[in-house]
Amino acid sequence: MKKAKLKKWAPLYLMMLPGLVYLFINNYMPMAGLVVAFKNYNVVDGIFGSPWTGFDNFTYLFQDAWTITRNTLLYNLAFIVINLVLGVAFAIFICDIKNKKCKTVYQSAILLPFLMSIVIVSYITFAFFSGENGMLNKTILPLLGKEPISWYTEPKYWPLILIIVNTWKGVGYGCLIYISSISGIDPSFYEAAELDGASKWKQIRYITLPSIMPSIITLTLLNVGRIFYSDFGLFYQVTQNSGQLYNATNVIDTYVYRALLQSGNIGMASAAGFYQSIVGFICVMGANLLVKKISPENAMF
């Protein structure tokens, strides 16, 4: 009986094998290198021959700990909440469009920025905010009777600018997933609701949102797991690496990168990655525990 089952599923096991091998090589073998975070790494001695330094590689993370931790957490919280709300809203609007051609155009339009390189996005942003030839300074502000602003030297504007850029670029990914979830809802639910006189808002509240809640929770948990990671290109390329903006735009990833440019210490970079992974794991477990208490059927495990 076992041989018959093995023979039946053998083709699937063979198809799965390359993916498992890749997963092991790419995700599990490098975990041995975590010891670099606790060593004074040098190429001659190698990873395991380099001398131990304890937690010395972690100390530099706490030199500007308040600023970089505050920026990383607050930006990512804003990104998660705004992208979630707008992604669901746009998905509902697009799914309500009856014309298939228009629906395809809107889906493509909202996904296109996500497919763009962050370098292209940084140049588009620069075209708007350049101090000399930017659209805002040359066209919009003069029409409003206001003086030009040196955007790349004024930190107070950049939290809003970065949130807008991230939303424009990233909302399409989640939106596409929510569109797929909404498309899978049985139309008879909406027909029954209309017969009962339910308004559009009530249909969204009592049918659409509960039906796509598993997708919302899964994406949110994945984003929470990366809450201590930042989009390096967004905070480095889009801001043009302007030193005057560091207080408002410096996050863990850019801080580590700049520290490495100065010191070239691989152990410090490994310590930062280790720190981010541990905090991300704790955040995912905590968020999943919270979901499990509120709605056990929607928890990941």
The answer, as to whether pTM is greater than 0.75, is yes
Compute the 3-state secondary structure of the chain and give helix, strand, coil in percent, each to the nearest 5: 80, 0, 20
Rounded CA-CA distance 86/300 in Å is 23
User: In this structure, is residue 29 part of a structural domain?
Assistant: no
User: In this structure, is residue 11 part of a structural domain?
Assistant: no
Provide the residue-wise pLDDT of the chain in tens; the chain has 301 residues: 567 777 778 888 889 999 999 999 998 888 888 888 898 888 888 888 888 988 888 887 777 777 888 898 899 999 999 999 999 999 999 998 888 888 889 988 999 999 999 999 999 999 999 888 889 988 888 888 888 889 999 999 999 999 999 999 999 999 999 999 998 898 899 989 988 888 889 999 999 999 999 889 888 888 888 888 888 899 999 998 888 998 889 888 888 888 777 777 788 888 888 888 888 888 888 888 887 887 777 776 7
User: In this structure, is residue 283 part of a structural domain?
Assistant: yes
Q: For position 129, which CATH number holds? A: 1.10.3720.10
Determine whether 3 is exposed, middle or buried from the number of CB atoms within 10 Å of its CB (0-12, 13-18, 19+): exposed
Structure tokens at 208: 């659409």
The tally of domains found in the chain comes to 1
Q: Which domain holds residue 118?
A: 56-298
User: In this structure, is residue 35 part of a structural domain?
Assistant: no
Q: 68: closest CA among 248, 269, 271, 281?
A: 248
Rounded CA-CA distance 230/273 in Å is 12
User: In this structure, is residue 122 part of a structural domain?
Assistant: yes
